Copies of this chain bind each other. A is one copy, B any other.
Amino acid sequence: MLIVKKFGGSSVADKEHIFNVARRCIEDYNKGHDVVVVLSAMGKTTDGLLAKAHEINPHPSKRELDMLLVTGEQVSVSLMAMAMGALGVQAISLNAAQIQMQTTSAYGNSRLKRIDTERVRNELDARKIVIVTGFQGINKYDDMTTLGRGGSDTTAVALAAVLHADLCEIYTDVDGVYTADPRIVPNARKMDEVTYDEMLEFASLGAKVLHNRSVEMAKKYGVHLIVRSSLNTSEGTIVKEEVKMEKMLVSGVAADRNTARISVMGVKNEPGIAFKLFQHLARHNINVDIILQSVGRHGTKDIAFTVARTDLEEALEIIKRHMDSLGAQTLESEEKVAKLSIIGAGMTSNPGVAAKMFEALASVGVNIKMISTSEIRITVLIDEADVERAMRSVHDAFSLGD
């Protein structure tokens, strides 16, 4: 079996952790498996390098920033190879240039294009454990690039795809994907499996177990993905296309507090006005989420939508500059809101699901401000203060707990 294993920065933060990971990989290797390991930079290395860069230049060239940052993973992989060597196992570290991990040319947020598998295959054939730098690539100029936040997950899934790996294990500091945040819902249950689509919804709702792009890629190439803990040997959560028949309608509940609501009222009721508003925001890379448009007074329109709370200030400034051209009269915002979502591939054809969710919220006196749905998700916007009560009530209503 060929297994790709990815470990994050906290899993290789120091000598003890490095040896812990090394032993885990060697265990599989000793069973006769081919093992490819993808590593992030140790602990807070990347933050440290960023601080150094900004000390020198508050706005460093993105190309040079990537040149700097990629050293972090190279340190991790070489030390890991030495640790495995100390444990008597042949291992070899490889960086992005050595396996021609080709990306788009954009620095800081590149996309993978192609990976040359020859070197990795040769080293595996020589019965070595292959240790690859996560998060990084090279572009057509032979310059170093980085894949952006969560990039090491993407590296691991991409390697699993091109190597036709039997398994891609993403190690995190949690046991897997839960039906809800166990810190809020004490009887939350670890799920044995979720579909790629469900995982995408969980990921985009801030359940930080897997990066979105890695899940998209896993889905596209049918990579057999497992999210599991680096701290214990529990089974983890399998992410795959189909899940077993008896699966429940709703898989889990997730909340996202990085949310704020903006209301632009009294907008001219002309075609294309809403489009203009969102175009202004898009130009500044501000993502808009739930949108509600309603008829206002005197033939005008009211447009309400949510943005990430971290984008609120900038979004308001942009809109203020365009109030006249939008013909808008008033601008309001609300910062202390949160999104609460239920996710489940099984809910598509079940109209009763939404009703049950709303009933659960009503039963604990939680007011719904906005609603948004997709095929496998129902999201409501509520007061941030209500999040925990709401989550527990919904979790109970769908009997998701142990």
Contacts and interface: CB of A to CB of B under 8 A. Distances in A.
Interface of A: 15, 18-19, 49, 52-53, 55-58, 60-61, 63-65, 67-68, 70-71, 74-75, 77-79, 81-83, 85-86, 92-93, 95, 97-98, 119, 142-143
B82 A63 contact: no
Given A52-B75, A60-B82, A74-B74, 11 more contacts: A15-B55, A60-B85, A64-B79, A65-B78, A67-B81, A67-B95, A68-B78, A97-B97, A98-B142, A98-B143, A119-B142
A160 B63 CA distance: 26
Q: Give the dominant DSSP class at A's interface.
A: helix
30 contacts: A18-B56, A19-B56, A52-B75, A52-B79, A53-B78, A53-B82, A56-B82, A56-B83, A56-B86, A57-B83, A61-B85, A63-B92, A64-B79, A64-B81, A64-B82, A64-B93, A67-B74, A67-B77, A67-B95, A68-B74, A68-B75, A68-B78, A70-B74, A71-B71, A71-B75, A74-B74, A97-B142, A98-B142, A98-B143, A119-B142
Given A74-B67, A81-B67, A93-B64, A86 B57 contact: yes
- What is the copy number of this chain in the assembly? 2
Nearest to A70: B74
A328 to B, nearest CB: 40
Contacts of A57: 82-83, 85-86
A185 to B, nearest CB: 40
Nearest to A55: B15
A63 B94 CA distance: 11
Contacts of A60: 82, 85
A49 to B, nearest CB: 7
Nearest to A72: B71
A58 B18 CA distance: 15
A94 B77 CA distance: 21
A288 to B, nearest CB: 33
B56 A15 contact: yes
Nearest to A86: B57
Contacts of A98: 142-143
A97 B119 CA distance: 16
Nearest to A133: B67
Nearest to A74: B71
Contacts of A81: 61, 64, 67
Interface centre among A65, A67, A70, A119 (most CB of B within 10 A): A67
A248 to B, nearest CB: 46
A312 to B, nearest CB: 30
A349 to B, nearest CB: 53
B53 A79 contact: yes
A157 to B, nearest CB: 24
A78 B142 CA distance: 15
A67 B39 CA distance: 15
Contacts of A79: 52-53, 56, 64, 68
A46 to B, nearest CB: 12
Contacts of A97: 97, 142
Nearest to A69: B78
A70 B95 CA distance: 12
Nearest to A49: B75
Nearest to A131: B64
Nearest to A90: B61
